[in-house]
A = this chain, B = another copy of it.
Amino acid sequence: MSEQTPLDLPEGDPFGPHNLPYGVFTPAGSAERRVGVRLGAAVLDAGAAAAALGSPYVSLLARPSLGPLLAAGRTAWRDVRRALTAWVTVPAHREVLEPLFFPLSAVTLHLPFEVADYVDFYSSEHHARHLGKIFRPDGEPLTPNWKHLPIGYHGRAGTVVVSGTDVVRPRGQRKAPSDPAPVFGPSARLDIETEVAFVVGVPSALGTPVPLSAFRDHVFGLCLLNDWSARDIQGWENVPLGPFLGKSFATSLSAWVTPLEALDAARVRPPERSHDLLPYLDDTAGDAADEPAGYDLRLSVEVNGHPVAEPPFSTMYWTAAQQLAHMTVGGASLRTGDLYASGTVSGPERHQYGSLIELTWNGRDPLDLPGGRRTFLEDGDEVVLTGWAPGPDGTRVGLGEVRGRIAPAIVPAV
């Protein structure tokens, strides 16, 4: 009997062999980035494993980034995943693999790929209605276009940071309606946005739309994402061209990319559509209806260790396949590493709201947390997003967490 190793996970571990998310890590004492595959609370040096086992996938796995694997395409994704599954489940490989595992506590995790373009959508009907009611209490909560297309905008790719990175409170201009002129200072309304982000692997050519049916040929996997938002900065700058500095200071991404293949058991139909959709977005007929692109992901939000919400991703009105079809229908090309996020995930019930602006109804109803009352985030607060999805045979597929602590605003020496 060998002693307990990462290959002896207890039954039902959400990061068992049915999951196998990918990341990039450096072991303690090393500067070399390596592709890792998570198993339980350990990470397998996937490139070293491929080399040790004489696998042809060493060219995709013995790399400092997931980029080459992302670009390799759906057949390669499937074949590499099959190989990894065999490696961690066939007892004959134990002796070779065991030395290639590192405890998560002994590695540094990095952004797993270089983010090309970052797009953020606004695809939860509940979230959009809540914000509409807060900001336009006497008007129609949804804008007229909302049910016809997935509203989205480009964010700043260069400030996507890996989970665990401190988030410095941004400074900026804000102006309350009662202020005679804008004031400058640290944001007083720093918020979270609980989101799910999709990772593009296979590029597309400029001028060529990607139809709904090609979603899984281009998208490799998904991650949890926290799109930190400074509501006061955003409120003042937002009209006429949308969010800019209110969102650009940091976006936190999980260190682990869950392949879509691990989530097949979690696929669900999106909510009933209340409006007819144009053909390029219509997922109620044909292939798109047979291959639903909703995902039943159960998300959780904790602030300072206290659970504050459980947003259900299955309630999202627009799917990731529709978002991709929309993003490219005008001819915009995709690149390996493009990242697009769902927008805040919120369900209909108050304990399902994915942002503090909803949970506190714009500060009117503070949250009483054990560490103190909160409307928006205070310096030192730590936010953790977690999630899981139904896996095969009653298992759970764990999603890599997104963790971030608020550091005080920096006042530059001038």
Interface residues of A (CB under 8 A from B): 116-117, 119, 122, 143-145, 148-149, 151-159, 161, 168, 170-173, 175, 181-182, 184, 206-209, 211, 230, 233, 236-245, 248-250, 276, 278-280, 326-327, 329-335, 338, 407, 410, 412, 414
Contacts and interface: CB of A to CB of B under 8 A. Distances in A.
Contact of A338 (B117, B158, B171): B158
B410 A331 contact: yes
A241 B330 contact: no
A149 B244 CA distance: 12
A305 to B, nearest CB: 25
A240 B151 contact: yes
Contacts of A154: 153-156, 244, 248
B248 A330 contact: yes
Interface of A is mostly: loop
Contact of A117 (B152, B157, B230, B410): B157
Contact of A250 (B148, B206, B211): B206
Nearest to A157: B117
Given A158-B116, A240-B143, A242-B243, A332 B248 contact: yes
A117 B244 CA distance: 13
A210 B343 CA distance: 29
A140 to B, nearest CB: 12
Given A168-B331, A242-B242, A173 B152 contact: no
A332 B156 contact: yes
A117 B116 CA distance: 9
A151 B244 CA distance: 8
B170 A330 contact: yes
A149 B233 CA distance: 11
A177 to B, nearest CB: 10
Q: Which of A117, A152, A171, A181 neighbours the largest number of chain B CB atoms within 10 Å of its CB?
A: A117
Nearest to A209: B412
Contacts of A276: 181
Contact of A145 (B155, B158, B182, B211): B182
A307 to B, nearest CB: 29
A338 B65 CA distance: 22
Q: Which of A122, A161, A250 neighbours the largest number of chain B CB atoms within 10 Å of its CB?
A: A250
Contacts of A116: 157-158
Given A143-B239, A158-B334, 15 more contacts: A145-B236, A153-B153, A153-B243, A154-B155, A158-B332, A158-B338, A159-B332, A171-B209, A171-B331, A173-B278, A181-B276, A184-B279, A206-B250, A245-B330, A248-B327
Given A116-B157, A278-B173, A410-B208, A152 B240 contact: no
Nearest to A276: B181
A332 B155 CA distance: 11
A218 B240 CA distance: 28
A336 to B, nearest CB: 10
A221 to B, nearest CB: 20
30 contacts: A116-B158, A117-B158, A122-B240, A143-B240, A145-B173, A148-B175, A151-B240, A151-B244, A153-B153, A153-B154, A156-B332, A157-B157, A158-B338, A159-B333, A168-B206, A170-B330, A171-B329, A173-B278, A182-B278, A184-B278, A184-B280, A207-B410, A208-B410, A209-B412, A211-B412, A238-B240, A240-B242, A245-B326, A248-B332, A249-B331
